Chains A and B, each alone.
Chain A
Amino acid sequence: MYILKRFFTMILTIWVIATLTFVMMKFIPGDPFASDADVLPEEVLNNMRAKYNLDKPIAVQYVLYIKDLVSLDLGPSIQSRTRSVNDIILSGFPPSALLGAQALVLALVFGLLLGIIAALYHNRFIDYLAMIIAIIGISIPSFILAPLLIKFFSVEWGLFPVATWGTWKHTVLPSLALASMPLAVVARFMRSSMIEVMNANYIKTADAKGLSTAGIVIKHGIRNAILPVVSFIGPLFASLITGTFVIEKIFAIPGIGRYFVDSIFNRDYPVIMGTTIFFSVILVVTLFLIDISYRLIDPRISLTSKEG
């Protein structure tokens, strides 16, 4: 029942996002054919506007768009005239998703490890070392880290290809650049909540019963401390697997990250809408799964009155 209800609100949420985006996009001055206006005769431009329904009133455009959307047709792209938005997403999503997923796994595994170790050695040398690593990770933005990685790992040491897409080796540097910031954030969250949890009475009880430190950490510590990390990775997952503009640009990766930005600058209306809706679907589904997982991690949590 709860799941069914959430499913309908998810559709409603996506519709609200689509509508607001549509309205905002139309409010921004500009014309997708601005660069053609000087070279093409007026009649051709008018024909092109007619092809994309841009000659009709905005309300009609909106209704036509929602109609297409219901049949899962995101329309044609204005910028790349031969491709539809569906094509763009289908071909660009796999590379972006692969990079994003790798980066997320990297950030989670090493972030959690770093955070847990730092918490266990609270206010000791290892703690300071781990947090200095984390602070460096937060302090260096990806657009600085990526060129540095290329300079050392590709140009100087020749370990990985400089850019573009192909083998697994091509994914290593962009994944590292993507992972640095989330890794640091995960480590800091985990450390902070782990320090609190390790002070709790049930940990002392477990310790008094003679459980090994590893046992305490794995069975009692992590499970109680991981919730902030789970809250954090929900939206992060959605934005990582739909690609990032900066990283995909620097490494020349054929992902969909750049369309989120380029489409807005080109006023490529169908692509703006298509990428936004695609991202929103992934986002609301992820946030729903995160809400469900809260209960699995901590059964004391009740999301609705009936369950609780």
Chain B
Amino acid sequence: MSVLLIAEHNNKELKPFTLNATTAASQIDNDVHAVIIGHNCDEAAKALSGIPLIKKVIQVEAAHYENFVAENFAPVILKLAENYSHIISSANTFGKNLMPRIAAALDTSQISDIIKVIAPDTFLRPIYAGNAFATVKSKDVKKCVTIRPTSFDSCESSGGSAPIEKADPVEEFVKTKFIKREEVKSDRPELGTARVVVSGGRGMQSGDNFKLITSLADKLNAAIGASRAAVDAGYISNDHQVGQTGKVVVPDLYIAVGISGAIQHLAGMKESKVIVAINKDGEAPIFSVADYGLEADLFEAVPQFLEELNKLNTIQK
């Protein structure tokens, strides 16, 4: 049977992780169908149909789908579910919010946040903040699976021409009303997909000092991350949090500045290709995962870092 992928989008464009989720879906079964639920989302639906791995697109439109309310989305998926063996989405806040509602209604025990497809019913997933990996096998007839986007490559996004079928919307769930979304707009690369991430922790001591992180990120064309401690202290907004309950990032280069390296932070970054830690406490746990550790006062080291970078002829973008 086919796999149903729930596309994530903003009604105009697909969110980049949809491409990673498509890769994961295609590793379960070749016959990947994608459902897009939204309002005035033709452009995004078209983009979805252009993904070569997707064989069919199902588009469901209504005004009450504009803001991705899970209570409205789940019944749409349930109506389609009987034709599919698996329902797949990303394990980001979109998929985490939505998939369990679908799974419970299907009486399926969901498998969250997989990092590898071993067989159509068997998956690898991290538990205990990534301190252990569990191989799990679903005994349910239908499988509801969320995938960790950074553990799957993004697939080719153009060249395909899957047919787009329209399906009827389901009545609105009136007990939940969307009010507003405050998105932090930025010209920087997205934290989840950036090649370089520069993160600050409690060692930054203030929100104002985060401008050191910003300068370094500017220089390296990097996204800005933060430890939970820095977010809790109000130095920077929550969308920058890297860790067990924040974002999981796997950049080529991760630079941790003034971050001690709590277990829950390591869970979000320790798969990065190259890790740099700058911390004045030589015993900080962050050094145990760092490829290059610099034991130094960040307020001296970061300005020096900028100077050294300025001396280079070229910096990779």
A binds B: no
Give A residues with C-beta under 8 Å from B: none
